């Protein structure tokens, strides 16, 4: 099972959503969820096609150009900041990233329910500590994003449910079926297979931001 989440950061959200799921309010929260998510992503895909200055559309990392024929075969990226690095992570690498994950806006959460976050308080590269993940173990949409990023890039990434957790809830039950995933991702560093992500004391041979 591909995963994404950091247990330490998920606990509060899991408890909150689990409690909510036992109420009628939860059913209202995610009413017509599949249709809402499909409409949200398809509308955004159309907007992205007409605004290439603001958005990038990237096909799923494992698809060939002729296979990626539908909107849901892609992720949509809004570049928040361009980094200075030149290379990009490979599928077999490890990556150090800051990220926040949200669902689309719903009844209670106008900004989308935040189901995971790797920092507390304000976004501050000088104080935040990144999560270290393996692209090969992530959902396809997140993998696609980080494999196209450079060191220092900060992207807002929209992932259709087909490249997220699909038609089932996530393994930790924090994300309903058919959920579009919206991530704020910063690529901090990466290391090739067999090479550990650098620590603060041993990072001179790597490109790195923050700390």
Q: Per-residue pLDDT tens, the chain, 211 aa: give them.
A: 466 654 334 433 433 443 344 344 567 889 999 999 999 999 999 999 999 999 999 999 999 989 999 999 999 999 999 998 788 999 999 999 999 999 999 999 999 999 999 999 999 998 999 999 999 999 999 999 999 999 999 999 999 999 999 998 766 667 999 999 999 999 999 988 877 776 543 343 344 444 3
Alpha carbon distance 160, 74 (integer Å): 8
Nearest to 92 by CA among 149, 138, 154: 138
Are 13 and 115 within 8 A, CB to CB?
A: yes
Are 77 and 141 within 8 A, CB to CB?
A: no
Alpha carbon distance 193, 134 (integer Å): 10
The backbone torsions φ and ψ at residue 95, rounded to the nearest 5 degrees and listed phi first, read -130, 145
The backbone torsions φ and ψ at residue 42, rounded to the nearest 5 degrees and listed phi first, read -65, -40
Alpha carbon distance 56, 79 (integer Å): 8
Alpha carbon distance 111, 85 (integer Å): 31
Q: What is the pTM of this model?
A: 0.84
Q: Which CATH architecture has domain 7-191?
A: Roll (3.10)
């Amino acid at each position: 099972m591909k995963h994404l989440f950091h247990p330490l950061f998920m606990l509060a959200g899991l408890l909150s959503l689990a409690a909510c799921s036992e109420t009628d309010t939860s059913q209202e929260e995610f009413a017509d969820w599949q249709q809402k998510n499909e409409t949200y992503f398809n509308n955004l895909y159309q907007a992205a096609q007409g605004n290439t200055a603001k958005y990038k559309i990237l096909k799923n990392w494992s698809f060939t150009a002729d296979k990626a024929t539908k909107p849901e075969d892609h992720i949509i990226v809004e570049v928040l900041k361009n980094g200075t690095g030149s290379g990009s992570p490979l599928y077999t690498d490890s990556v150090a990233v800051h990220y926040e994950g949200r669902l689309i806006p719903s009844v209670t959460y106008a900004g989308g329910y935040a189901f995971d976050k790797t920092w507390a308080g304000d976004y501050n590269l000088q104080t935040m500590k990144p999560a270290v993940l393996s692209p090969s173990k992530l959902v396809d949409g997140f993998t696609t994003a980080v494999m196209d990023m450079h060191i220092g890039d900060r992207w807002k990434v929209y992932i259709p449910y087909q490249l997220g957790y699909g038609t089932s809830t996530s393994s930790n039950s924090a994300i309903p079926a058919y959920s579009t995933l919206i991530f704020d991702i910063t690529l901090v560093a990466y290391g090739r297979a067999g090479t550990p992500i650098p620590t603060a004391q041993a990072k001179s041979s790597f490109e790195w931001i923050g700390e």
